[in-house]
Amino acid sequence: MTFHLPDLQATCRLGRALAEAIRAHGPAALLLDGPLGAGKTTLTRALVEALPGGLEAEVASPSFNLMNRYPTQPETVHIDLYRESGGMLGEELEDILDDPTVLAVVEWAKRLPRPVEPAVHVTWQQPPHEGRMVTLQGTGERGRRIVEAVHTALAEGSR
Are 6 and 83 contacting, i.e. CB atoms less than 8 angstroms apart? no
Q: Are strands 2-5 and 132-139 parallel, antiparallel or unpaired?
A: antiparallel
Q: Which residues contact 8 (CB under 8 A, 6 or more apart)?
A: 39, 42
Complete domains list, the chain, with CATH: 2-157 (3.40.50.300)
Indicate the residue type of 108: W
pLDDT in tens, the chain (159 residues): 999 999 999 999 999 999 999 999 999 999 999 998 899 999 999 999 999 999 888 887 766 678 899 999 999 999 988 876 666 567 888 899 999 999 999 999 998 888 999 999 999 987 767 889 999 999 999 999 999 999 999 988 665
